[in-house]
Chains A and B, each alone.
Chain A
């Protein structure tokens, strides 16, 4: 198919006005092709969750979203709430860090899964719906799925609940699946199971995935591409291996540098001094200048634009050409 599945241009998310106005997303440009997995990384407060919540149309009241979010030719920001609700569960699906916030504790997981299927595939006979639900649970590796249908969410472990969420998202056959830190709350060996499951599922799932994580190692294992957010800006994007192995932007370099390496016990660990900018700050220049090891005078007055670096990479930094 021609063109990307998702194309975001100059997306801004803001609140309030005048002096106390907050800018949460400050002009994001991003495209995602069909069938690809995009990782989104960045510190807390960089705008990762705000970005995907805006795509899903889940922005809280009081926030203004401007710009364009085009999903297969349709601008999501222009849609009515009714139309947007119809898209969620059809063309868009999302899994969250804590599945308990998305599952209703007082309904059996079978009931909840059947509801989703009936909504997505209306007119299917009940026996077929039931069979689809059991099959979906089996596909995500839930042991004894027929019996598990009768369990309540509270009877399942965190890893099992996340599998149920993935099953629910996949029965929707979405074009875009968004996963917001889906393994953060899980134990290491269970996290490995879920990442392995997502990797295997991508073969029979035709859609694209946006995967938010603070774990660069996981992003490297699972994703094709990566976008690095900082202070509501997209500062770098490109193929995952290229970006994380040879980062261009000073922020990506610093972030990758903080990953713990193989050096001996006595060597100090790296960190990024300072803190992420507040949403109420309005820097005249580069958003990262205050914490950047390479910042020069122009960085404080001129905001860099996201510019192509070779075929498939982009970075927003005035000094790219001069960096060591």
Chain B
């Protein structure tokens, strides 16, 4: 792994109330400047992971370090400084913009709180507006007067004005039309490269993750079940859950679009987790041991990690391989 990790999680657990285990001993290292995607369904812990990184959710146990410093220490020592270094794009971009303030004031507020130079920031806001193809007149508008795509771009400006080194994006394109999602993703990728951001992006859209990240984490019920270079994951998923998830998202151009693996049953509740492997209740290739022993994350030959007793045994439709 990298010498200076952007993000390091050590056996991070988050439990809500007594019973709801949102994250369960998640261990992870993300290098500075790395772009990592997270995929998984409801209850997988994607959003909790993001919120814990920015300090919105407190860990129940384990360690969270960002840029070499534990989050709890950083937040105590210099909370504003910490929040400048790590910024988050929320899923509901419109909801993050106060309806009583104009866009211009919303951006100025962030600048004032963090005591940035006003003239210089004004200059940067103008240049951001130009690059994000937003008219300067938008600064005088209220959030309800702008479109969802514009609200997201304003969110990006507000996050980047503070010159963060880590950017966490929770479903940045959810609810956006495909006609505009590409534009937003292009900008995020450009900024990631330009500013050498450590970038974590959560999406339920696997195509998005495939196109914009080099490494992907697949999560299920609070655990990482597969962690692999994005190309390898999509070409040869090792975990049966990853295999099924990928099969439900065929590319439009794929000749065989109907080859989805249909998993049985529903995602179990975080309050009543299955014993053994958490995926065994829905796994097409589960064997008796899977109901008894929880598999650990083990390295794969391809350089990733997988949490499965029998990795690679679920055949993908259309490949003929088992």
Contacts and interface: CB of A to CB of B under 8 A. Distances in A.
Do A and B originate from a single complex? yes
B137 interface: no
A201 B265 CA distance: 18
- In the A-B complex, list the 5 residue pairs whose CB atoms are closest, starting with the nearest: A269-B182, A271-B182, A260-B207, A187-B41, A271-B183
Contacts of B261: 192
Interface residues of A, number: 38
Nearest to B177: A43
A160 B252 contact: no
Interface in A184-208: 187-193, 195-196
Contact of B181 (A216, A258, A263): A258
B180 interface: yes
A214 B177 contact: yes
Interface in A209-232: 214, 216-217, 220-221
Nearest to A269: B182
Interface size class of B (residues with CB under 8 A): 35 or more
Given A187-B41, A261-B253, A269-B211, A196 B182 contact: no
A221 B245 CA distance: 16
A189 B177 contact: no
B68 interface: no
A265 B212 contact: yes
Contact of B42 (A187, A214, A216): A187
Nearest to B244: A189
A44 B210 contact: no
A186 to B, nearest CB: 9
Contact of A196 (B177, B179, B189, B262): B262
B87 interface: no
A268 B186 contact: yes
Contacts of A84: none
9 contacts: A189-B263, A190-B266, A191-B248, A221-B257, A259-B207, A260-B251, A261-B251, A269-B211, A272-B180
Contacts of A220: 252, 257
Contacts of A196: 260, 262
Contacts of B25: none
Given A188-B204, A192-B248, A259-B178, 17 more contacts: A187-B204, A188-B41, A188-B249, A189-B245, A196-B262, A214-B177, A217-B249, A217-B250, A217-B252, A220-B257, A258-B182, A259-B253, A260-B205, A261-B211, A262-B251, A265-B189, A269-B183
Interface in B201-258: 204-208, 210-214, 230, 244-245, 248-253, 257-258
A214 B178 contact: yes
A191 B185 CA distance: 24
A178 interface: no
Contacts of A164: none
A272 B205 CA distance: 19
B267 A265 contact: no
A259 B180 CA distance: 11
B2 interface: no
A15 interface: no
Contacts of B267: 187, 189-190
Contact of A258 (B179, B214, B244): B179
A83 interface: no
A137 B41 CA distance: 25
A193 B178 contact: no
A275 interface: yes
A276 B283 CA distance: 43
A192 B211 contact: no
Nearest to A159: B266
Contacts of B204: 187-188
B252 A271 contact: no
B147 interface: yes
Contacts of A160: 266
A234 interface: no
Interface string B115-157: 0000000000000000001000000000000010100000000
Interface string A235-265: 0000000001000000000111011111101
A256 B252 contact: yes
A320 interface: no
Contact of B262 (A157, A192, A260): A192
Nearest to B179: A272
